Amino acid sequence: MLYPAELRARRGRRLASLSGQVKAERQKLFLLLRDDVRLSRVNPPPMPYLPGSAQDDEHLKLLAIFHYVVGALSFLGTLVGVFYMFAGFFVFQHMPVTPGHSAPPVEMGWVFAFIGGVIALISAAIGVCLIIAGRNLTARRNRTFCMVVAGINCLNVPLGTLLGVFTFIVLMRPSVAAQFDRPL
């Protein structure tokens, strides 16, 4: 029969041998981690963005879709111009005169019609350019035209600015530029 002191001594020796094994395992793990850190400094992990990857294709596809959407919204802007033209041609021409007040000058109607025509033309031109740029982004051609449209689009706050800036960011990537420069 073992006395309590002997049991404590055996348990202590067993724990000491286990703690020695744990220390050895810790040392091995430390050395492995240290080597991993050294290797990662020499060879950093690959970037999540790979040139010429599916990410470029996805970004160009989304840009094309957004160009179509903003182009359609620009065509809705022509309705504002048409409204001004309507106001100039009809409202100011046929405005009833109240007693004691004079009618607005007829020239004011022509000014409204002219401003409405300019708004409609500019909005329609920008809409056409945006849709053409969307087609060019899909076909990977006319990168310069797409960048010019993006610059003009930056003036259309806030949606056009976002679309223009993101178009610049995507089209400035060397991998995307290489896709546009390839022969057909």
pTM of the predicted protein model: 0.66
What number of other Cβ atoms are within 10 A of residue 11's Cβ? Answer: 10
- Per the structure, the complete domain to which residue 81 belongs is given by 58-181
Answer whether residue 6 is part of any domain: no
pLDDT-derived band of residue 41, with 50, 70 and 90 as boundaries?
low
| Residue indicated by tokens 């995507």 | 170
Number of folded domains that form the chain: 1
Answer whether residue 75 is part of any domain: yes
Q: How much is the pLDDT for 25?
A: 74
pLDDT for 51-68, tens place per residue?
A: 567 888 999 999 999 999
Dist. CA 62–CA 161, nearest whole Å: 16
Answer whether residue 44 is part of any domain: no
Dist. CA 79–CA 47, nearest whole Å: 47
Answer whether residue 25 is part of any domain: no
pLDDT-derived band of residue 148, with 50, 70 and 90 as boundaries?
very high
Q: How much is the pLDDT for 88?
A: 82
Answer whether residue 167 is part of any domain: yes
Answer whether residue 80 is part of any domain: yes
Q: Is the model's pLDDT at 144 over the cut of 90?
A: yes
pLDDT for 114-128, tens place per residue?
A: 999 999 999 999 999
- Whole-Å CA distances, 2 to 7, 8, 16: 7, 10, 20
Q: Is the model's pLDDT at 16 over the cut of 80?
A: no
Answer whether residue 91 is part of any domain: yes
Dist. CA 142–CA 136, nearest whole Å: 6
Answer whether residue 9 is part of any domain: no
Q: Which has more confidence, 78 or 19?
A: 78
Nearest to 67 by CA among 55, 59, 56: 59
